[in-house]
Structures are given as C-alpha cells and as structure tokens.
Amino acid sequence: MRILLVEDDRQMADYLRKALAEAGAVVDQAAEGREGLLLAASGDYDVLILDRMLPGLDGLGIVRTLRASGNQTPVLFLSALGEVDDRVEGLRAGGDDYLIKPFAFSELQARVEALLRRGTADAPETRLRVADLEMDLLKRDVSRAGTEILLQPREFRLLECLMRHAGQVVTRTMLLEQVWDYHFDPQTNVIDVHISRLRGKIDKDFERPLLHTVRGAGYMLRAE
C-alpha cells in the first residue's frame, strides 16, 4: 500500500508517517501544496491524505487539478475546518472522505482501509489489452506492439466494444446498439465497411491477425 501524505504540520506529519509505516504502508511525504501535487501526479499511490490548508497550493486546489487531469486516486482530507459547509466543499472538490482535526489514528486508519476497499471495487477500467493491442480509454489512443494506430471516433468505439468482449462473439445487433445506437437493422453494409477499415489498421501490418469474422454470427477479437 502506497500513501502520499501532504501535511505542513511537521509534528503531525512525522507521527502519521511513522504510524502508517508501522501499519504496513509505504509513505511519501510533502509539506507544501505544489510539491504534493507534483508527487501525486507523478506517483502511483493507493490513497492521498491531504491537509486542506497548505502553503503554496491548498488541498482543494490539489484535488481539483488531479481530478481535471483524470487522476481518480482516493483522497482523504484532514482539516480543522469542521463546519458542514467546509466538509461539503471538500467533497465537491473531488475528495472522497473528510476527517476533522483532532482525530484518533485508529479512525484515520479505518477510513484509509475503507477507501482502499472502495477503490478496489469501483476503480474504473482505463486500459484494455488483447495480445499486443492496447487501448488507453483516458487518452483515447490505441497502439499495437508499441506502434500508434490512428482511429476515427466511430472506429475507436467499434474497437472498444470488441476489446471489452475479447474472446467472445460480438453480433451485428450488439454492434448496431453499442456503437451506432441503432435499435433496428438499417439494412446497410455500414458494419462491414467499418470492420474492413478497422482490420486494415490493426491487422494489416502485423504478423498475427486479431480481428476475426465468425460466419453467420458476427466478429471476435482474439489472438490466434
């Protein structure tokens, strides 16, 4: 478990770092808001523990910046500001929990554990992979064997649907509903045209084909 602790009260920060380490966490520590933001944006943390009032950039600013960039790491705010409006502001800024100072370490530990459980259950899928084909859902880019593949928006949605059902037959009806938002068959070859274009981009210059036609059923994305 990796935790980033951003707290400018040195005595409290040292106490929490030691207690969290004793509980089995690897803790990185910052005492200033901008340093905390840099660490949070560049590190792979399971939970962020942020003091709300920080020099340089406050906790609200850190969280708003992270959320705007797509970073969804769970955040626990620490603050002496305990009014309802203060807590609401922290949660609406993107925080996941709010603990009022002073507090017992046992409560902080329990809240961190709850955030870890929630994060494991609710973490959205951001990358899809089939063999050497990868899709980044946040950056909206696709690559195969490290080579970037440029797709049109509809092609991206088509490939995403196929990758989410990798190893399974995806029927024409499924594609019409999930990619084109059609709930009827328009009696056109729109699917065939897009499948052909997509196959040319993800398979043509590579040794192993991934996109297969299942005659009479639909299509399947899988490695041979």
Same domain? 116 vs 131: no
- Summarised one tens digit per residue, pLDDT across range 91-116 is 999 999 999 999 999 999 999 999 98
What is the pTM for the complete model shown? Answer: 0.55
Per-residue pLDDT at 122 exceeds 70: no
- What pLDDT sits at residue 119? 60
Question: What is the pLDDT of the chain when averaged over all its residues?
Answer: 91
Q: What pLDDT score was predicted for residue 139?
A: 86
Q: What is the CATH number of the domain that holds 136?
A: 1.10.10.10
Confidence of residue 223 (pLDDT cuts 50, 70, 90): confident
Question: What percentage of the chain carries pLDDT values higher than 70?
Answer: 96
Q: Which of 102, 122, 142 represents a domain boundary (last residue)?
A: 122
Q: Which residue has the tokens 């973490």?
A: 123
Residue 109 is predicted with a pLDDT of: 94
Same domain, 106 and 208: no
- SS3 letters across 186-224: CCCCHHHHHHHHHHHHHCCCCCCCCEEEECCCEEEECCC
Residue 211: other Cβ atoms inside 10 A: 21
173-193: average pLDDT: 89
Domain boundary among the residues 98, 122, 146 is at: 122
Buried-state track 115-153, b at ≥16 Cβ within 10 A, e below 16: beeeeeeeeeeeebebeebbbeeeeeebebeeeebebee
**Average pLDDT value for residue range 110-125:** 75
Q: What is the mean pLDDT of residues 161-175?
A: 92
**Cα–Cα distance measured from residue 90 to residue 78, given in angstroms and rounded to the nearest whole number:** 10
- The DSSP element (H or E) to which 131 belongs, if any, is none
Find the domain containing 139 and state its range.
127-221
pLDDT-derived band at 124 (thresholds 50, 70, 90) equals low
d(CA 182, CA 112): 44
The pLDDT value given to residue 187: 84
Tell me the pLDDT tens digit for each residue of 41-86: 987 899 999 999 999 999 999 999 999 888 889 999 999 988 889 8
Average pLDDT rounded to a whole number, residues 34-39: 94
- Strand ranges across the sheet with 97-100: 26-30, 2-6, 47-51, 75-79, 97-100
Are 102 and 146 in a shared domain? no
> Per the structure block, which two tokens stand in for 76?
């626990």
Single-letter code of the amino acid located at 145: A
Are 142 and 183 contained in the same domain? yes
pLDDT score at 127: 87
Which range is least confidently modeled, 121-125, 142-146, 204-208? 121-125
Query: Tokens 């019409």 correspond to what residue?
Result: 176
Is 132:147 a contact under the CB 8 Å cutoff?
no
Q: How many domains does the chain have?
A: 2
